[in-house]
Chains A and B, each alone.
Chain A
């Protein structure tokens, strides 16, 4: 089975901090995604990556950046955390564009 592992299930940070969320997949998938999920708003795409060192903005990239130095790892960076970035963050990966995405269990991030 595909395994997508997010580094933390729960994280508490302070306003203004630089926050790193890590995601690792073990199936050599080309594509990786970062979403956030908020009540009433569903899942929204922040960034995605087709391959190593490649990235594309999703629907809500403001305040975030990403890094993909190795195929298996996709990092989401909150440059200067703000309270409106308190959310559930979900990472996903897939082999190619028509195959299903596989999700991690999410990181519930609280910014105080």
Chain B
């Protein structure tokens, strides 16, 4: 599976939008872009995934660049509960596992 690059950490203020970037310049045509987050003392939680088009769900939006070499997870109004490590993962749909990198640690200030 191709590699992703994310900033180690980001800060946000409560109730402001947050844009979490992810670079994946070696993405292949069949790779899906998955985002998970992990809150302290919990297992990872699925956030959103997409292939080519932008995606929205109740938790977040995923904006995918036209060349698919980067993507951005958008939290529209950050809350304190959104403080977590966010992982961007490429997944080619093989039978194997997801490969989690170091992710971005998001801090949210009141």
Contacts and interface: CB of A to CB of B under 8 A. Distances in A.
Interface of A: 4, 31, 33, 35, 42-43, 45, 48, 50, 56, 58, 90-92, 97-98, 100-106
Given A101-B46, A104-B43, A106-B43, A42 B100 contact: yes
Query: Which 9 A-B pairs give the minimum distances between C-beta atoms?
Result: A103-B43, A100-B46, A45-B97, A43-B100, A98-B93, A103-B44, A106-B43, A42-B100, A90-B43
Contacts of B49: 100
A56 B94 CA distance: 13
Interface string B73-110: 00000000000000000010111111011100000000
B34 interface: yes
Contacts of B42: 105-106
Contacts of A45: 96-97
A56 to B, nearest CB: 8
5 contacts: A45-B96, A100-B36, A101-B44, A101-B46, A102-B46
Contacts of B102: 42
Contact of B101 (A42, A100, A103): A42
Contacts, number: 47
Contact of A48 (B36, B91, B97): B97
Instruction: Using C-beta atoms within 8 Å of the partner chain, give the interface range for chain B.
Output: 20 to 34
B4 to A, nearest CB: 12
B16 interface: no
Contact of B44 (A50, A90, A97, A98): A90
A48 B43 contact: no
B68 to A, nearest CB: 16
A31 B42 CA distance: 21
B97 A35 contact: yes
Contacts of B97: 33, 35, 45, 48, 58
Contact of A98 (B32, B43, B96): B32
